[in-house]
Structure 1
Amino acid sequence: MKKIGVLVTVMLFLFSLLGLTGCGSGGEKQGGSQQGDGKTANHLTFATAGTGGTFYPLGGGMAKIISKYVPSLQVTAEATGGSVENARLLDRGEADLAFMAGDVAYEAYHGLGDFQNEKKKFFALFKTYSEPLHIVTLQDKKINSIMDLKGKKVAVGSPGSGTEVKARALLNALGITYNDIDEQYLSFAEASDALKDNNIDAAIMAVGAPASAVMDLSAVREVKLISLTPEEISKVKEKHPYFFESKIEKGVYEKIPVEVETVAVPIVVAARADLPEQTAYEVVKAIFEHLPELQTVHRVAKEITLETAVPAVVPLHPGAERYFKEKGLTWK
C-alpha cells in the first residue's frame, strides 16, 4: 500500500509539472504575444543592414508604421550584414521582411553571381529609393567619358562591397575589365580623400544622391560627374536587367551645375516566399498609405511613390500584387 501511495504521489506531481509548463493550456501562439485586447500579435523580423547605413533607420521607420497601423502585427527591425545576408535569411525563413539592393535580389533569385547555382526563394514587395552610379573625377583630369577610365587609377569600392560588384558589372558591360584600369579598392570616404590628394583619377560610387563623399570632395576640389551615353546605358541594361536609366538632377550637388545621365539599381523590400498573402497585403498597404509619416524618418523615403513601386526586379508577392492592382497599377 505504501508503494501504491508513493506511485500516486509521483504521478500527481508529474501532472502538476505538466500543468505549470502550459502543455495543452492554450497559451501564446508561437511567434506571437498577447495584446491588451486579448488578440495575438504576430511578430515579424525586418532584416536591414549595419546601423550606420540607410537600411537600418528606414527599416526601423517602416517597422514602426506597420506595427502602428496593422494591429495584428508587431515588426522589429534588426541589423544584419546587408543585402547578401538578407537574401539568405529570407530563404531560410529566419527573416520575414528585408531590404535588398536590386542587383543582389536579381542574382539571388536567379542563382547568379554570389549565389551561383543556389537560387533563393523570396518575393519582392515594392521598390523604394535608388542608388545611381556616380562616376566621379576632377575638372582638371582628362576624363570626359567612361572609356577615358582606361589606363587610369579608379576607385571601385571596398573589397566585396555592393559598389564593387556594381562597378565591375558596369565596366564589363561596356567591354572594360580590371585589366584595362588600375583598380583601387577604396570606400567612399577613402576615394574622396584619394581624389583630394590626387592619388587616384576617378571613383565609381553606387550611392543615393546627394552623397556626402561627393559633397565633401566638391567643397575643396572642382568636381565633375561623367555621364553615360544613351548607347552605353542600353548596353548596360541589356547585359544586367537590374539596372535602369537614371539621372542625377541638376542642382542636387550645388557645385556640379549639370544633369548627369547614368544607371541605377533600385532598393527593394522583399518578403519570405511563404509569408501569408494577407500579411503581405497589409504590410504594403500600411507603408503606402502612410508615406508622409515615413518621410520624416529619412530623406530617401521621399523617393518612395506608388507610381515607382513596381516592377521590382523579381516577381511580386501575391499580397503585394493584389494591393497594387487595387490601385490600378500595371506592369510587365
Structure 2
Amino acid sequence: MQFGSILRIVTVAAGLTVAVTATQAAELRIGTASQGGAFYPVGQAISSLVNNYADDLTMVPIVTAGSVENPRLVNNGEVDIAITNNNLSVLANKGVGPYAKSGAMNLRAIGSLHFSILHMMTLDGSDIASIADLKGKRVAVGPAGGGTIPFLGQVLGIAGLSMDDITPSFLSYGDGFSQLADGNVDAAFALSGYPAGAVMQAQANKKLKYIPITDEQLAEALATYPNYNKVVVPKATYGTDQDGIVLGVNNMLIVDAGMSDDVAFKITQAIYDHLDEFQAENAYAKQIIPEASLDLKIPLHPGAAKYFGK
C-alpha cells in the first residue's frame, strides 16, 4: 500500500506497466488476468466499489497472467489482493503443484466470487467430437501462468492424454478464440466466467460447439477433484446447438494473512454491502453467492470473517 500524492509506475510479473497517481488514501493493487476473460472486468468493478465505499482506500486493477500467477503476486507483495480459485488457493498454501518452487504461502480469503468454467470449444463442423480427438491438434490453451493450463492437463488426463499429445498455443483468451475463428488452431480453451468476452467475439464470426465430456469422464473428474463442480451453460449463451455440460470452479478474492483486519474488513464491506451495484455493473457478479464465502477451501481473513459474522 502506498500513501501520499506521487506518480508511481506499477509493474507486475505479467509485464504490464501502469502509471498511477496515488492520493492520500492507501492504494491497493488487485491482480486480475488477461483481457478477454472474466477476471479483469470483475477486478475493475471491485476497484470501483472500493474507491467509492471504502474510507481511506483506493484500488487499481492490474492485468496479470491469471489465476495461477496471482497467488504468487500476493505472496511476493506485487499486488495486495487478487482473484484466483478454490483449487489453486489450496495448492498455494500447501506449496505444492505449480507452487512447489515458491514454497507454502499464507493466503486468506476475502470472499466468494463467480464460477469459472472450462470452456472447451471448437468450430461447428469440426471433426473434434471428444476430448480424445484433441490428440495431435493445435490448441489455444490460454496464457502461460493462467488457470486454464493445469485444469486442461487434468481433463486431458481423464481421457488418457497429456499436454504432450497436443500442440499448445499460449495465447490470451481473446487471441486464442480469435485464432480459432480464423482456423489457425483446432480448438480453444478458457477457464473463465461466462459469458466470456473472448468466446462471444469468436461466436459473432463463426458458429462454435462444445467439445463434450462424457458422463463417465464427468463423474471421474468430480470424484478426483472435489473442488470442481458440474455447470450447465444454456445453449443461448453462445448460440450453440446444445447446452454446454462443463466443469467449473468457484473463484475467490485472496490476500496475504498479514493484511490488517481493518483493511480486509473495509474491502469486504465495500463489495458485499453493495452487491446489487456490483451485479448491475458486471454480469458475472450475478452468479455470486455471498454465503459461499463461509465454505471456501482456505480460511477467511479475520477482517472478512468479522464481516460475514464468522
Compared CA separation, residues 66 and 300, structure 1 to 2 (3 A) = same
Aligned partner of 1:49 in structure 2 is: 32
Partners of 1:130 and 1:264 within 8 A in 2: yes
Residue number among 109, 112, 115 corresponding to 2:96 in the alignment: 112
Aligned partner of 2:141 in structure 1 is: 156
For 2:287 and 2:208, the matched residues in 1 are separated by 25
1:181 is displaced (CA, Å) by 3.2
Deviates more, 1:255-264 or 1:161-170: 161-170
Aligned partner of 1:287 in structure 2 is: 271
Residue number among 267, 285, 308 corresponding to 2:251 in the alignment: 267
1:315 aligns to what SS in structure 2? Answer: coil
1:92 is displaced (CA, Å) by 4.2
Deviates more, 1:285-294 or 1:151-160: 151-160
Which whole-Å deviations, capped at 9, do the CAs of 1:142-174 have from their partners, x for residues lacking one?
A: 333223323433332344443233222321244
Larger radius of gyration: 1
Aligned partner of 1:250 in structure 2 is: 235
5+ residue gaps, structure 2, are 5-23
Partners of 1:137 and 1:202 within 8 A in 2: yes
Q: Would you say 1:313 and 2:297 are equivalent positions?
A: yes
Compared CA separation, residues 141 and 32, structure 1 to 2 (3 A) = closer
User: Which letter does structure 2 place at the counterpart of 1:234?
Assistant: A
**Counterparts in 2 of 1:69-148, with a 5 A limit?**
69-71=53-55, 73-79=56-62, 81=64, 82-93=66-77, 95-116=79-100, 118-148=103-133
Aligned length: 289
Partners of 1:174 and 1:236 within 8 A in 2: no
For 2:129 and 2:73, the matched residues in 1 are separated by 42
Partners of 2:31 and 2:79 within 8 A in 1: no
1:133 is displaced (CA, Å) by 0.9
For 2:132 and 2:290, the matched residues in 1 are separated by 37
Which whole-Å deviations, capped at 9, do the CAs of 1:56-105 have from their partners, x for residues lacking one?
A: 4433432443354343x413225253445542343345544322244432
**Counterparts in 2 of 1:171-190, with a 5 A limit?**
171-190=156-175
Aligned partner of 1:208 in structure 2 is: 193
Partners of 2:35 and 2:172 within 8 A in 1: no
1:314 aligns to what SS in structure 2? Answer: coil
For 1:69 and 1:158, the matched residues in 2 are separated by 33
For 2:61 and 2:206, the matched residues in 1 are separated by 38
For 1:271 and 1:74, the matched residues in 2 are separated by 15
Tell me the TM-score normalized by structure 1: 0.73
Which whole-Å deviations, capped at 9, do the CAs of 1:15-61 have from their partners, x for residues lacking one?
A: xxxxxxxxxxxxxxx9667xxxxxxx872523223684654443343
Aligned partner of 1:169 in structure 2 is: 154
For 2:207 and 2:40, the matched residues in 1 are separated by 33
Residue number among 45, 59, 66 corresponding to 2:50 in the alignment: 66
5+ residue gaps, structure 1, are 1-29, 34-40, 327-332
For 2:283 and 2:155, the matched residues in 1 are separated by 27
Compared CA separation, residues 242 and 46, structure 1 to 2 (3 A) = farther
1:258 aligns to what SS in structure 2? Answer: coil
Compared CA separation, residues 77 and 55, structure 1 to 2 (3 A) = farther
Q: Give aligned-pair identity as a percent.
A: 30
For 1:32 and 1:278, the matched residues in 2 are separated by 16
1:304 is displaced (CA, Å) by 2.1
Partners of 1:51 and 1:79 within 8 A in 2: no
Partners of 1:57 and 1:297 within 8 A in 2: no
Aligned partner of 2:213 in structure 1 is: 228
Q: Would you say 1:276 and 2:291 are equivalent positions?
A: no
Tell me the TM-score normalized by structure 2: 0.77
Which whole-Å deviations, capped at 9, do the CAs of 1:187-230 have from their partners, x for residues lacking one?
A: 43444344344444322222222233333333343321133234
Which whole-Å deviations, capped at 9, do the CAs of 1:276-314 have from their partners, x for residues lacking one?
A: 345433432332121122234332222223244442332
